[in-house]
Structure 1
Amino acid sequence: MTLTALNQLKNLTTIVADSSDLSAIEKFRPLDATTNPSLITAAANQSENLELIESAFAQAKNENYEGDFLIERTIDILTVKFGVEILKLIEGRVSTEVDAALSYDTKATIAKAKDLLALYKKYGVNQDRILIKIASTWEGIQAARALEAEGIHCNLTLLFGLHQAQACADAKVTLISPFVGRILDWYKKAENVDTYPIDKDPGVLSVKQIYHFYKQHNIKTEIMGASFRSIDQVLGLAGCDLLTVAPNLLAELEKDTRVVEAQLTANHAHAHCEHDLVVLNKESFKHALENDLMSSQLLQGGIDGFIKAREQLSTLLRQSFGVDAEILA
């Protein structure tokens, strides 16, 4: 019997579903799953999730929240409720994202992370099954440092450069999510190129560089490639610690029968690392980010996109439950 590309890939890499679509997760049965505000908003628009939305709103109202606070609390509860439902379908962990509007506020990020974990605890979920997802700003990485010191596991997302990966390693975060597809999109636009061969794909090469750096220096932080545009990109990173893949690409991989070989191995990494282990402070991190146009633009663009998705969900909930926005002086 011929193994599908997906089955072969699962022998080399932990496959994670990049989705809040419960039916897709049930179909593909990944070990882990990731969510983000865009995915939560998309799932909230599906009629089959109406009961989850109504119960989240009722819970927030029973906690005596009103107006804007009622909507914000409903979003947090709904986000956790999706996580709980996902965890019923998988054996591993789910990533749950902190409000992207807090990406430059370390204390607020820590507080929100603990609020989300408290909600999970109410539903009987152990925090070891949760990865708190935080944008890879300097402030977000420092929040993750503090959370990890308390045993709270974090997934640093919107990661586009080695300097971000270095800072995450120093903070001893559990996992990072470098974004493959968004890097490719940026370079295609910047260089006016339609396509790249996979061995020159800027997104794939970025993850390979981080992988080689981590393995060369025996860094325990897990690397999870994310934001894929094609199954060629996915297979180009076969052997990476984890890969989080959207359901449409998982379906393509399930139909593909090509031979899949490891493109990343720890042994291979030791021969391909050209960067020394350095500890970045706030000034050097921000200097590196400011001098990397791709990373700085994509980081801020990603944060803005997640804020917009949360605002769209807020609008949907207001319309559904007749909640007027408060006018703040």
Structure 2
Amino acid sequence: MKFFIDTANLDDIREAESLGILDGVTTNPSLMAKENISGEENVRDHYAKICQITDGDVSAEVISTDLEGMKREASELVKIADNIVVKIPMIREGVKALAWCTENGIRTNCTLVFSPGQAILAAKAGATYVSPFIGRIDDIGWEGMTLIADIAEIYAIQGFETQILAASIRSGKHIVEAAKAGADVVTCPLSSYDSLFKHPLTDIGLEKFLADHKKAQSVAAS
């Protein structure tokens, strides 16, 4: 399973890259705004900086909601770097844009997916990735991981090549569950990956190893 980081923060991207686990980056307008990045030129410059940190896929989201606007933005975004993937919303015009991008060799990430039916539409239109939003589904009392499992089963039966990119991941537990449910990719903040390191028995074991080493050194020196 691939690990993408969901952020526009360059320091967090560099840290994930330094861990040796980073396979790509996802962003959206909200994450850009969080970093105080605004204006079309500044946003594209920021994408270029991200693409200089990693050679993994970097999802860059369109703002338009009409077909012609999305086509124009997609054509411009892919000029930034070879690893740009155009992020397109799951709406009627978005599916048309997905199909157009597929026909023109532009890789895509279909975002804001909340049902198996939407995932089927994205795959039929040739999306490279489909992004079901796990955490937001959990927020309304449904099971986000059930959606991942359902999409994985459908894609396997139908032979769809679209990769399942589990989004709105909020914890290390979510990451593990997404892996078990059949996600090809997870994307989440650096803090969620950090939580995978933590286990009390690891801390206790390391403390004991270090204490025993220190004791042995003291005995050897006496």
The offset of 1:98, in angstroms, is: 0.3
Q: Which residue of 2 aligns with 1:149?
A: 103
Q: How does 1:58-73 map to 2 (within 5 A)?
A: none
Q: 2:196 aligned with 1:253, yes or no? A: yes
Residue 256 to residue 211, structure 1, CA distance change in 2 (3 Å):
farther
Percent sequence identity is 30
Q: How many residues align?
A: 195
Tell me, what secondary structure is at the counterpart of 1:163? helix
Alignment of 1:202 with 2:166, yes or no, is: no
Q: What's 1:21 paired with?
A: 9
Q: Offset of 1:157 from its aligned partner? A: 0.2
Aligned to 2:140: 186
In the alignment, does 2:52 pair up with 1:88? yes
User: For 1:237, what is the secondary structure of its paired residue?
Assistant: helix
| Equivalent-residue separation in structure 2 for 1:86 and 1:156 (angstroms) | 20
CA distance in 1 between partners of 2:199 and 2:186 (Å): 17
2:30 corresponds to which residue? 38
The alpha-carbon distance between structure 1 residues 92 and 257, as it changes in their structure 2 partners (threshold 3 A), is farther
How far residue 164 of structure 1 moved from its aligned partner, in angstroms, is 0.7
Separation in 1, partners of 2:78, 2:165 = 22
Which structure has the higher relative contact order (CA within 8 Å, separation 6+)?
1
Q: Which amino acid aligns with 1:211?
A: A
Which residue of structure 2 aligns with residue 111 of structure 1?
72
Structure 1 SS opposite 2:59: strand
Q: Is the 8 A contact 1:76 1:116 kept in 2?
A: no
> Which residue among 103, 117, 127 is the counterpart of 1:163?
117
> TM-score, with normalisation over the residues of structure 1?
0.57
Contact 1:79 1:96 in 2 (8 A): no
- TM-score, normalised to structure 2, is 0.83
Deviation at 1:257, TM superposition (A): 8.1
Distance 1:257 1:176 in 2: 35
Distance, in Å, in 2 between the alignment partners of 1:78 and 1:27 is: 23
- Alpha carbons of 1:256 and 1:144: their partners in 2 closer, same or farther (altered >3 Å)? farther
Structure 1 unpaired stretches of 5+: 1-12, 45-52, 54-73, 188-200, 259-329
Larger strand proportion, structure 1 or 2? 2
* Whole-Å separation in 2 of the counterparts to 1:213 and 1:15: 23
**Structure 1 outlier segments of 4+, above 3 Å:** none
